[in-house]
């Protein structure tokens, strides 16, 4: 087993400086010696066998269980070394068969009529609020920040993200706005405070997020025109909204439900309305989610390509008015989150345990890898029903952002959430 595991590691890591200690105590130097040394140890032969058979899932699990151990460098350093050598996770026929089986299962689950959305959301977002407080910015923005200009802080970049989306929404006083997937309320409150008389409805399937959103809205005196509801977008009826915004939620819809999602958007959007969709995207269809992310982080989630997203928009009778790609911004965001999370390790372990900490460290590190090496990116799609709902050029975005910066300069500081 040791020789089989060593051979696959040597096949993958050709460039880099890896010191590998096997379960039998043997130590091998792998790679061409370039770069910083990364030293790993595998605790037992079963761990070697499991990783060799199914690296996509089992590497993360063995790291969680303390059976794949970083003795020099960290898990991000190791994953970066692997990704710089290969993005191919299929090295033999059994691996290929495993991948095909996962694709088939995830495709089937995404099309089942059973509604597990609330359970899937709770799996991640109903974790302790204190966990997210360890690494998010002061506004609890759990989606990609916008690093424009480059080099700004996480807090500044999250404000820039809200500003950029608000500009694309072309907000006017007294409009009715729907936010699909309202998180902890930060985006909705920003839009409402930036626009006189704006009436916002934010919907979520997370009871924990709902609780904090309502608390924050009350603290800022916005309850007369900002409401957050425990609501599935699919069951909303009888309402029309001037604007719809959805940030970091579309990844949870599932590939089998894209048509239903945009048909509901068509139903809820006013005839002269505008929607902005902000979502993670990939350069081409993958048909299935990473096995570790699917099992431990986001059950039944799916990252679409632009090519998978645009046809259902068109089939719903909606017009695509603007598509913007934001490359690498999520890599920068995830780097900030991971560094903050690791710096707060003791608090995270106190909340859960060492295994949970390593699971989330692996998730944050692996996600950053996706944006740095697998070409994942953020797509922002502006949608309407009427070609005259949006300007015929993009100059309005910068103009609106300038005005929003003036609003931000006078906005009251965000209050600390009482947990």
Q: What is the pLDDT of residues 217-231, one digit of tens each?
A: 999 999 999 999 999
pLDDT of residue 94 exceeding 60: no
Q: What is the pLDDT of residues 393-413, one digit of tens each?
A: 999 999 999 999 999 999 999
Please state which of the ranges 34-48, 123-137, 153-167, 330-344 shows the lowest mean pLDDT.
Answer: 123-137
pLDDT of residue 304 exceeding 60: yes
Q: What is the pLDDT of residues 229-279, one digit of tens each?
A: 999 999 999 899 999 999 999 999 988 899 999 999 999 999 999 999 999
> Which has more confidence, 240 or 96?
240
HEC string of the chain?
CHHHHHHHHHHHCCCCCEEEECCCCCEEEECCCCCCCEEEEECCHHHHHHHHHCHHHHHHHHHHCCCEEEEECCHHHHHHHHHHHCCCCCCCHHHHHHHHHHHHHHHHHHHCCCCCHHHHHHHHHCCCHHHHHCCCCCCCCCCCCCCCCCCCCHHHHHHHHHHHHHHHHCCCCCCEEEEECCCCCHHHHHHHHHCCCCEEEEEECCHHHHHHHHHHHHHCCCCCCEEEEECCHHHCCCCCEEEEEEECCHHHCCHHHHHHHHHHHHHHEEEEEEEEEEEEEECCCCCCCCHHHHHHHCCCCCCCEHHHHHHHHHHCCCEEEEEEEEECHHHHHHHHHHHHHHHCHHHHHHHCCHHHHHHHHHHHHHHHHHHHHCCCEEEEEEEECCHHHCCCCCHHHHHHHHHHHHHHHHCCCCCCCCC
pLDDT of residue 391 exceeding 70: yes
Q: What is the mean pLDDT of residues 77-82?
A: 92
For the chain, what is the mean pLDDT? Answer: 90
Q: What is the mean pLDDT of residues 91-102?
A: 49
pLDDT at res. 204: 96
pLDDT of residue 114 exceeding 60: no
Q: What is the mean pLDDT of residues 313-325?
A: 98
pLDDT at res. 90: 45
Label residue 70 by pLDDT band (50, 70, 90).
Answer: very high
pLDDT at res. 302: 87
Q: What is the pLDDT of residues 333-342, one digit of tens each?
A: 999 999 999 9
pLDDT of residue 102 exceeding 90: no
pLDDT at res. 86: 72
pLDDT of residue 352 exceeding 80: yes
Q: What is the mean pLDDT of residues 141-163?
A: 97
pTM of the full structure: 0.91
Please state which of the ranges 62-71, 287-296, 304-313 shows the lowest mean pLDDT.
Answer: 287-296
pLDDT of residue 100 exceeding 50: no
pLDDT of residue 98 exceeding 60: no
Please state which of the ranges 60-74, 133-147, 220-234, 278-292 shows the lowest mean pLDDT.
Answer: 278-292
């Amino acid at each position: 087993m040791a020789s089989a595991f060593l051979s696959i590691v040597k096949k993958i890591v050709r460039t880099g400086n890896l010191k590998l200690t096997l379960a039998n105590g043997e130590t091998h130097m792998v790679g061409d010696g370039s770069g910083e040394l990364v030293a790993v140890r595998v605790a037992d032969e079963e761990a070697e066998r499991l990783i060799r058979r199914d690296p996509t899932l089992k590497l993360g699990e063995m790291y969680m269980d303390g059976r794949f151990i970083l003795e020099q460098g960290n898990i991000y350093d190791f994953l970066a070394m692997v990704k710089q050598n290969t993005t191919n996770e299929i090295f033999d026929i059994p691996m290929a068969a495993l991948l095909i089986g996962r694709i088939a299962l995830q495709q089937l689950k995404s099309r089942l009529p059973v509604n597990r959305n609330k359970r899937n959301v709770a799996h991640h977002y109903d974790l302790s609020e204190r966990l997210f407080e360890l690494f998010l910015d002061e506004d609890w923005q759990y989606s990609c920040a916008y690093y424009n200009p480059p080099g700004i802080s996480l807090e500044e970049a999250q404000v820039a993200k809200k500003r950029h989306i608000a500009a694309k929404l072309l907000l006017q006083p007294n409009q009715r706005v729907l936010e699909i997937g309202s998180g902890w309320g930060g985006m909705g409150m920003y839009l409402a405070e930036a626009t006189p008389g704006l009436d916002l409805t934010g919907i979520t399937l997370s009871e924990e997020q709902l609780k904090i959103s309502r608390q924050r809205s009350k603290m800022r005196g916005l309850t007369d025109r900002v409401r957050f509801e425990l609501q599935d977008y699919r069951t909303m009826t009888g309402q029309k909204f001037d604007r719809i915004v959805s940030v970091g939620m579309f990844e949870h819809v599932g590939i089998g439900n894209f048509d239903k999602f945009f048909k509901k958007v068509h139903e809820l959007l006013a005839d002269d309305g505008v929607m902005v969709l902000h979502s993670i995207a990939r350069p081409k269809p993958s048909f299935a989610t990473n096995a570790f992310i699917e099992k431990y982080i986001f059950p039944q989630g799916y990252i679409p390509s632009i090519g998978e997203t645009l046809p259902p928009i068109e089939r719903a009778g909606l017009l695509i008015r603007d598509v913007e790609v934001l490359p690498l911004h999520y890599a920068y965001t995830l780097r900030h989150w991971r560094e903050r999370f690791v710096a707060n390790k003791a608090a995270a372990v106190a909340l859960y345990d060492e295994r949970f900490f390593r699971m989330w460290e692996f998730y944050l590190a692996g996600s950053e890898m996706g944006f740095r090496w697998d070409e994942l990116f953020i797509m922002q799609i502006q949608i309407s029903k009427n070609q005259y709902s949006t300007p015929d050029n993009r100059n309005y975005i910068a103009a609106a952002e300038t005005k929003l910066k003036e609003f931000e300069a006078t906005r009251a500081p965000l209050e600390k959430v009482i947990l």
